[in-house]
Amino acid sequence: MEFIMLVVGFIQVVVAASYGQNYRLKELTWNAYDRSQIRATWMNTLKIDRRCRDELRLDIPRFEKLCHLLETRGGLVTTKHVTVKEVVALFLHILAHDLKNRTIQALFARSGETVSRQFHIVLGSLLKLGKDYIKKVDHSTSYVDDNQLKWFEGAVGALDGTHIKMTVPVEDRPRYRDRKGDISTNVLATCDPDLCFTYVLPGWEGSASDPRVLRDALRRPNGLKVPKNKYFLADLGFSNSEGFLTPYKHTRYHLNLWHGNTPTNYKELFNLRHSSARNCIERAFGLLKKRWAILRDASFYPKKIQIRIINACFILHNFFREEKMEERNFMQEVERDLLRSENIDEEDEENDYISTARSTNEWNEFRDDLAKKMFEEYVARRT
């Protein structure tokens, strides 16, 4: 009798275990279906243009074009379980809202491993587009029609540095602590009047001064190239040296200091127009950080990955700016790019580029002559 009861009990346990296993398999199947529905529902919301801009910072046509570029030029491919649009949306959503891995897991119904892996895949593909969008400044471009830069013949844009917060190991924190006490990296960049960045150098410690970062940029093999007959507009953090025109010290400079007053001498007029022209780099930095929230606070990626993310944000900024500027003639741009690519070797051999940034009397005299000429024209026009 006891033997029979043991056999019956064993059979009940086996049946219960079998039922439980089938139930768990059914539960897993339904969960997978639910996850796919969650992803499909979220991706369908991106078909609304306003929703797409809010979530990804790009409208639908630009989002689709970015996906196409990442496929054709960046080598991004669709796999069995994920699509290109999904992973690109995942990547842009993280940059735009500075979201953590756990949040993206719940939003896209993906595992943490999948989110991390796909993020780095898209990041690598996007960086391959860098040479197409972070283009070196075209030194043959003239800005005589620009209201701000027309006063500065030979200027090719503006230059400045900005600090972006980072997370670094404890032993590196003293070097990355800037003058405000934040842990950050000092990013040097140049831009043109269209607010497109033409050179970006991230990675320097927050304690590094702007002139030190500039010297490094000039000495790099593929660094900042400034011909001796051209110059960038820079602020007082840099020296007034050949290739980098800065305002006068101890003279009103910032636009909010004027309040309707008029310049009284050539130095004030020069600083006023210099501030108006150089403001493009400040606006470019402002748009960059406003669009990509991941740059407004320290992220928890490894230091090398944080630097790559910063580069990716600059690339996306230029992608957006170039797509937005409808007035640009596409065929002229293509012809100019082809001509530049054909003559790039000759230009490197013929042009004598600036290799250092040192203040000289000749460059100070150049600034004085330019400022006095401005003031003479200004007085003649007002009389």
Q: Where are the domains of the chain?
A: 49-128, 137-382
Structure tokens at 357: 């940034």
Look at residues 358, 310, 347 and name the one whose alpha carbon lies nearest to residue 214. Answer: 358
Regions of the chain where pLDDT drops below 50: 2-30, 326-350
Q: Treating both helix axes as pointing N-terminal to C-terminal, what angle do 101-108 and 112-127 enclose, rounded to 10 degrees?
A: 100
Structure tokens at 171: 């032993």
Please tell me the pTM assigned to this model: 0.83
Burial (0-12, 13-18, 19+ Cβ within 10 Å), 280: buried
Structure tokens at 217: 């940029």
Burial (0-12, 13-18, 19+ Cβ within 10 Å), 38: middle
The Cα 45–Cα 55 span in angstroms is 10
Q: What's residue 20's pLDDT?
A: 44
Look at residues 327, 326, 328, 330 and name the one whose alpha carbon lies nearest to residue 338. Answer: 330
Q: What's residue 138's pLDDT?
A: 72
Amino acid at 287: L
How far is Cα of residue 345 from the mean position of the Cα atoms in its chain? 28
Look at residues 187, 98, 169 and name the one whose alpha carbon lies nearest to residue 178. Answer: 187
Look at residues 281, 29, 303, 20 and name the one whose alpha carbon lies nearest to residue 148. Answer: 281
Q: What's residue 382's pLDDT?
A: 82
Q: Which residue has the tokens 């840099």?
A: 238
Backbone angles phi, psi at 30, to 5 degrees: -65, -35
The Cα 298–Cα 307 span in angstroms is 12
Q: Which residue has the tokens 């009940």?
A: 12
Look at residues 104, 133, 130 and name the one whose alpha carbon lies nearest to residue 116. Answer: 104
Q: What's residue 339's pLDDT?
A: 38
